[in-house]
Amino acid sequence: MWTRTGARDESEAESGLCHFMEHMLFKGTGHRSAQDISREIEKVGGSLDAFTTKDTMCIYSHVLESRREVAIDLMADMLTGSRFDDSQVTLERNVILEEIGDVEDAPDDLIHEMFAAQLYPAHPLGRPILGSRKTVSSFRQSDLRRYARRAFRSSNVVVSLYGNIDEDELVEICSTRFKFPRGPLAREKARLGGQCRSASTCAGSSTSSTS
């Protein structure tokens, strides 16, 4: 399942919120605990994971054809019924702050963040997908719920399956399992300004020019 919104669709105060929400999808729903989610997919020999980019958030699973109902049911529940419990938000905030620290300690990762910030100043594409320590520390349950309502709507989600599955069956699955609210496309991309900056960044020093 893919959303048509990613890190580039966040405001400055929301920087890192999409990635934070991706983490929280695995932390429990109204029907399952985090342990239940993990046990159910592992019991059928499957895998369940997610990632966030500048342009999208994706949650995906690999299972045997005969176990596809398990994966579909799990992902549908995670996308439509996540609780975003305060206690789990606090725990996951610390995990993400550690991730930010790992990037800061890895020159080969940090150089990409520095380059993007120079190339796209004052633009969402120039901000880290993980967000900053300031923004991540500010996120609360209400922020996650608000962002989920914005991202998980019928016009903003793409359901994709591969393998031996009938098209009519796929349509039936989508209509019965994925109860997303309707509404306009949530993506409102920030546009690049009239100037384009070329940048050269090396180990903390940078030069740039505009044209």
Active site residues: 22
Distance, in Å, from the CA atom of 19 to the CA atom of 54, rounded to the nearest integer, reads 10
Q: Do residues 52 and 73 make contact, with C-beta atoms less than 8 angstroms apart?
A: no
Residue 207: left if φ>0, alpha if ψ -120 to 50, beta else—which one? beta
Q: Which value, to the nearest 10 degrees, does the dihedral of the CA atoms of residues 150, 113, 23, 71 take? A: 90
Contact at 8 Å (CB) between 58 and 2? yes
What residue type is assigned to position 103 of the chain? Answer: V
Spatial neighbors of 101 by CB under 8 A, at least 6 apart, are none
Q: Is 85 helix (H, G, I), strand (E, B) or coil?
A: coil
Angle at 161 between CA 159 and CA 129, to 5 degrees: 55
Tokens 């399992």 locate to 177
Residues listed for the chain = 211
